[in-house]
Amino acid sequence: MESAAPTVHAMRLELEELAEQLRYHEAAYRAGRAEIPDAAFDDLFDRYAELADALGVPATERLDARPGSDHTEGFAEVEHRIPMLSLEKLTPNRKDGRGEPMALDAQLALWVERRRQDLELAKDARLPLFVEPKIDGISVSLRYEAGRLVQAVTRGDGRKGDDITRQIQRARAVPDRLVDVEGSLEIRGELYWPRPAFEAHNARLKASGEEPIANPRNGTAGMIKRKELAGLEDAGLASFLYQVPWSSGVALPSTQSGVLRWLGERGAPVYAGHTAVLEDVAAVVAHCESFGRLRGTLAFDIDGMVVKVEELKHYAVLGATGHHPHWGIAYKFPPERKATVLRGVELGVGKSGKITPVALLEPVGLAGTVVSRASLHNFVEVARKDIRVGDTVLVEKAGDIIPQVVDVVRSLRPEGAEAIARPTHCPACGASVVVEEIFIHCPDPGCPAQRRERLLHFGQRRAMAIDGLGESLVDQLVETLGITRPDALFGLEVAQLSGLERMGRKSAENLVRALDAARGRGLAKVLYALAIRHVGETMSDDLAAYFGSAEALLAFARRYVEGDASAVASVAPESGSGAIEGLARKTADVIFRELDSAPVRAVFAGLAAAGVKLDALRAVRVEREGVAGKTFVLTGTLPTLKRDAAAEMIKEAGGKTAGSVSKKTDYVVAGDDAGSKLDKAKELGVAVLDEAALLALLGRA
């Protein structure tokens, strides 16, 4: 059965949803409580990159513009002398210019050719490549002075990371001293948890009635951020070291393979087996695939191989982007797949009412876990793959999370296999569903299946930032105290809360204080926290800035839903852009219909009664000549300013910012890796400012 390709609008919606998932999982990982394995995160990220490429999202506006931060409160941050970046990846999901999948060897050949061009090498000139295993662990930077370890730092955001020296020394995961080394040097490597030690630790946790750790990498991330050091020495963490990015007073070999031998001779743990120096792309691929077949026999986890330019003299010439260096690339192993039978389909309902199909499977073993449920993504995907109940399906490895059904073995389809029907009503509340592009939604915000997810989302850091409002507590609030709406949270009292399981008086008092602090977050945070479809952080800010108050916004929503022509034309005209940038007619229809619904109006009334601030928080605005009334577009990485801080300065001076360059743009503020927006500015003759010129214009130089 053929299905029409998703529209641009549908692709943008999927991109926004993926971005939210990636931010959530990265934050969970950085906090040492990762919920999904690295391979599953990479799958989400690869799909995000595929959509971002297809939609032409500028490099500087993408999540992969630079590594995420792993900063944890309570740890001192240290700036890296040389940026500590992620590696670009060869991935099975990448497509060529015609939209066709690219084989990994073709991707690698293209990468090698680009490196040859960067180095201006003749066609017959040698370009040796060093190939080594990619350990699935946590990146670390180690500084040694006269052979003694003096500092250990996480990768962080690539520019600065957290100081974990005490944790590393207590865990004995790296050498405290190197042999015959004078001067100063930085060594980078990977911290990991050997399988035997990890399994022994989990056995101890189970014996004491505690929850086991999901997988070695997540466990390593949690261990190295422990503020309480007791027990670290018994965990069995280890490391492989692989790079010396800088040194002073140290004579180093001129090649990557030579550096590894040098490190090993001085007592550093290096991977001595299955590395190779090769020049032929086919030989590199063959080596990677050969080693991949050994994965299950190793005492540690690997998720691919790393291919590096062998001669270190080339590294400075090749340089890097804001996200990855050009001298190396990761060859990712394809995920493990198993065949099993699809026995049925269950419907799940998310916080915004999105209804998704979940496969109920004949249990199958994948990477040491038994899987009985898997994601089917959406009903367009089900139709495209023609998945039916009774089919033998291929399930992709996803470690400790629900995997995904990736294909059907049609030759094994039994007679009478049932097609999977799209739902017409919400499985939880019975409301008639709303179909929007590739997504199916329950339109009732009062739906019981949505309540828990909405309450959790309401308290998240990027929403109302209510510390302590986690999953366990939300479950009790719903089941024990009957909380069904976010406004009811503000009526909770210490006596009620302290009677809940694992909720003492001190915790109850802390939560009440957190709720009181949340009252002043302002309209933009409230709008985002309510999980209204299509109202992400940017749209929340724009709606709050334009309407100024919930009262004005809700009054407008009523006019819009009633068909007031002037209201519709002002924000979502048939052609061109309205008063709120990026708000298309279909999106506006959904947003204002939900805002005008009785359940959402009731929540706003409850929030107002609870003393929650429902006006926009406005910065002090002092208009400045040359800025007031002007439109600025920010692009690239600025030397010292974050883009949101620069945008705030512009708004405070009476200017406004836009996401794209047009003839109406007055200035483009360009940093490193500015990309297509800078090209567009030059094409249109728009004035281009660097950070220094912007600060001068703002009177802040």
Please give the CATH topology (third level) of the domain spanning 523-609: DNA polymerase; domain 1 (1.10.150)
In the prediction, which pLDDT does 210 show? 65
Q: Which amino acid is at 356?
A: T
Tally of CB atoms within 10 A around 296: 8
Q: Which residues contact 579 (CB under 8 A, 6 or more apart)?
A: 546, 570, 571
**Percent of residues, the chain, with pLDDT higher than 70:** 88
pLDDT mean over 148-164: 91
Tokens 């004005």 label which residue?
552
* pTM of this structure: 0.53
In the prediction, which pLDDT does 326 show? 94
pLDDT mean over 659-685: 81
Report whether pLDDT(129) > 60: yes
CATH 1.10.150.20 domain locations along the chain:
448-518, 523-609
Question: What is the tens place of the pLDDT at every residue in 296-310?
Answer: 788 888 888 999 999
Question: What is the tens place of the pLDDT at every residue in 389-426?
Answer: 999 999 876 434 457 888 899 999 999 999 999 999 99
Quote the longest CA-to-CA distance of the chain.
81
| Cβ atoms of 579 and 570 closer than 8 Å | yes
In the prediction, which pLDDT does 3 show? 42
| Alpha-carbon gap, residue 658 to 580, rounded angstroms | 10
What is the pLDDT confidence band of residue 213, given thresholds at 50, 70 and 90?
Answer: confident
What is the pLDDT confidence band of residue 367, given thresholds at 50, 70 and 90?
Answer: low
Instruction: Specify the higher pLDDT residue, 260 or 678.
Output: 260
Report whether pLDDT(7) > 90: no
In the prediction, which pLDDT does 24 show? 60
Question: What is the bridge-based pairing of β-strands 388-389 and 404-408?
Answer: unpaired
Both tokens assigned to 521: 């977050």
In the prediction, which pLDDT does 629 show? 82
Q: Closest Cα partner for 353 from 441, 422, 424, 436?
A: 441
DSSP class of residue 1 equals: -
Question: What is the tens place of the pLDDT at every residue in 539-561?
Answer: 888 899 889 999 999 999 999 99
pLDDT mean over 631-643: 81
Q: Closest Cα partner for 263 from 248, 253, 249?
A: 253
Report whether pLDDT(690) > 70: yes
CATH classification number, 337-439, choose in 1.20.120.1730, 3.40.250.10, 3.40.50.740, 2.40.50.140 = 2.40.50.140
Residues designated as active site: 134
In the prediction, which pLDDT does 619 show? 57
pLDDT mean over 484-488: 93
The fourth-level CATH superfamily of domain 110-332 is DNA ligase/mRNA capping enzyme (3.30.470.30)
pLDDT mean over 489-508: 91
pLDDT, the chain, mean:
85
CB hemisphere CA count around 57 (13 angstroms): 20
Q: Which numeric CATH code is attached to 1-65? A: 1.10.287
In the prediction, which pLDDT does 34 show? 52
The fourth-level CATH superfamily of domain 448-518 is 5' to 3' exonuclease, C-terminal subdomain (1.10.150.20)
CATH 3.30.470.30 domain locations along the chain:
110-332
Report whether pLDDT(317) > 80: yes
What is the pLDDT confidence band of residue 530, given thresholds at 50, 70 and 90?
Answer: very high
In the prediction, which pLDDT does 576 show? 57
What is the pLDDT confidence band of residue 275, given thresholds at 50, 70 and 90?
Answer: very high
Tokens 């366990």 label which residue?
472
What is the pLDDT confidence band of residue 130, given thresholds at 50, 70 and 90?
Answer: very high
DSSP structure string for 142-183: EEEETTEEEEEEE-TTSSEEEB-HHHHHHHT-S-SB-TT--S
In the prediction, which pLDDT does 2 show? 41
Both tokens assigned to 5: 């390709």
Tokens 């209510």 label which residue?
466
DSSP structure string for 574-595: SSS--SSTT--HHHHHHHHHHH
pLDDT mean over 578-595: 83
CATH classification number, 631-697, choose in 3.40.50.1370, 3.40.50.11900, 3.40.630.30, 3.40.50.10190 = 3.40.50.10190
Q: Closest Cα partner for 658 from 691, 681, 679?
A: 681
Q: How far is CA 266 from CA 176, 254, 312, in A?
A: 12, 17, 20
253: left (phi over 0), alpha (psi -120 to 50) or beta: beta
Tally of CB atoms within 10 A around 658: 17
CATH 2.40.50.140 domain locations along the chain:
337-439
In the prediction, which pLDDT does 66 show? 45
Q: How far is CA 605 from the centre of its chain?
A: 34
Q: How far is CA 309 from CA 63, 128, 131, 276, in A?
A: 27, 6, 9, 12
Q: How far is CA 341 from CA 362, 399, 409, 618, 628, in A?
A: 5, 19, 10, 56, 64
Both tokens assigned to 457: 């989302």
| Cβ atoms of 350 and 453 closer than 8 Å | yes
CATH 1.10.287 domain locations along the chain:
1-65
Report whether pLDDT(118) > 60: yes
Both tokens assigned to 30: 């950085």
In the prediction, which pLDDT does 655 show? 84
Question: What is the tens place of the pLDDT at every residue in 567-582?
Answer: 888 887 776 567 786 6
Q: Which helix (H) or strand (E) holds 307?
A: strand 302-309
Determine phi and psi for 364, rounding to 5 degrees: -140, 140
Tally of CB atoms within 10 A around 218: 23
Q: Closest Cα partner for 240 from 264, 216, 218?
A: 264
DSSP class of residue 672 equals: B
Both tokens assigned to 39: 């391979």
What is the pLDDT confidence band of residue 245, given thresholds at 50, 70 and 90?
Answer: very high
**Percent of residues, the chain, with pLDDT higher than 90:** 44
Q: How far is CA 551 from CA 445, 536, 554, 585, 612, in A?
A: 20, 20, 5, 22, 13
pLDDT mean over 690-699: 90
| Alpha-carbon gap, residue 319 to 672, rounded angstroms | 13
In the prediction, which pLDDT does 99 show? 63
CATH 3.40.50.10190 domain locations along the chain:
631-697
Instruction: Specify the higher pLDDT residue, 435 or 579.
Output: 435
| Alpha-carbon gap, residue 370 to 354, rounded angstroms | 27
Report whether pLDDT(381) > 60: yes
Look at 51-65, 234-248, 336-350, 447-461 and tell me which has the smallest mean pLDDT: 51-65
In the prediction, which pLDDT does 678 show? 83
